Structure 1
């Protein structure tokens, strides 16, 4: 059954921006090390410590812990990654800029809600300023010191941008974040690509 949609909220990495950790490290460190860092079972804790930064901790607050656990050499690799984070932001996900433009042309608001460290988020809009122009506003977890799938960050987005969860669609490439949005009443979808996002919106009655 079609549902009125007044607004759409988008995650960033994996939805609006193609984030590739390998692209940041390639050419600077051995391929085997990069493969290990980028693996789902990452033995060097990159994802864990980056998640801590996404939740609001500063690099200065986590790097000593990182160094104690993984040593000076790996701490330097992690610090390099954070300093050159823009190199991991390879492009806007194909079709997503056009989707945002079409939604705005249809009178539907577009917003961002991302788990991202406050120290590195500026790279997103510096590298892709058109996204800042197309989005009415963006909630950045590191700046708010809360992150998805915590209900409070979705509720913050609803409050700050005066959104009604019943008429707001949400896209994220992480299942637990989709479930978190559903828990607060949003129409949430697991993102795969722009074409599927259009079909998901069509299922809610959005005709672009």
Structure 2
């Protein structure tokens, strides 16, 4: 078996991101905070911005729905940079090992087009990737198969004739890993860097 390309998700694999970092300060009570992040600034709302909806538009829509929470809703993107905890060192080490071995690396991330430039400027590790598909830029989000096809079309110029079974995709969301596997890729559900590296070694990669 020959793997010719490895595609990384970013949040939860390479970059530590959590709304908890902001909302623990704003909503100290855990039950109240959990309710807010489940029912108001919920992940399905975040994914709409990741899919290309302008942040201002998404914020206005949510405030119209929950006017009593306006201050807390505005904080989500006004203080978004505080939700970034930094690079996950073990994930970055996996990237560095593969890069050092000459394995072509690519990125596929659900991320707002408006906030991604901060990550690009802040984290040099992202420059290890030959190309990055940012969901907010292409207006598609994982696990939609269309965004994987977009990624494949970006890989093709670097590795002409590459087949699905020659691509590995690593994501901390099992649905996304499964979506890649359904297309013939090797989907790796990332639970820890050690487990991911063990799976990559099974696939013949030098980590």
TM-score (norm 2): 0.89
Question: In structure 2, which of residues 136, 145, 149 is the aligned counterpart of residue 142 of structure 1?
Answer: 136
Q: Does 1:159 align with 2:156?
A: no
Question: In structure 2, which of residues 48, 52, 56 is the aligned counterpart of residue 52 of structure 1?
Answer: 48
- Contact 1:4–1:205 (Cα < 8 Å) also in 2: yes
- Judge which range, 38-47 or 79-88, deviates more: 38-47
* Displacement of 1:189: 0.8
**What SS does the aligned partner of 1:155 have?**
helix
Aligned pairs for 1:68-83 (under 5 A) are 68-71=64-67, 73-83=68-78
Q: Deviations over 1:7-32 (max 9, x none)?
A: 110111111111121112343x1312
Structure 1 residue ranges (4+ consecutive) displaced by more than 3 angstroms after TM superposition: 34-41
Q: RMSD of the TM alignment (CA)?
A: 1.9
Q: Does 1:64 align with 2:60?
A: yes
User: Matched residues in 1 for 2:185 and 2:196: separation?
Assistant: 15
Question: In structure 2, which of residues 28, 33, 47 is the aligned counterpart of residue 31 of structure 1?
Answer: 28
Aligned pair in 2 of structure 1 residues 171, 24: CA closer, same or farther (>3 Å)?
A: same
* Displacement of 1:123: 2.1
Q: Deviations over 1:185-205 (max 9, x none)?
A: 111110011111110101111
**What SS does the aligned partner of 1:171 have?**
strand
User: Matched residues in 1 for 2:81 and 2:36: separation?
Assistant: 22
**Which residues of structure 2 form unaligned runs of 5+?**
none
- Contact 2:172–2:190 (Cα < 8 Å) also in 1: yes
* Partner in structure 2 of residue 103 of structure 1: 98
TM-score (norm 1): 0.89
**Which residues of structure 1 form unaligned runs of 5+?**
none
User: Matched residues in 2 for 1:113 and 1:38: separation?
Assistant: 28
**What SS does the aligned partner of 2:38 have?**
coil
- Contact 1:170–1:186 (Cα < 8 Å) also in 2: yes
* Displacement of 1:76: 2.8
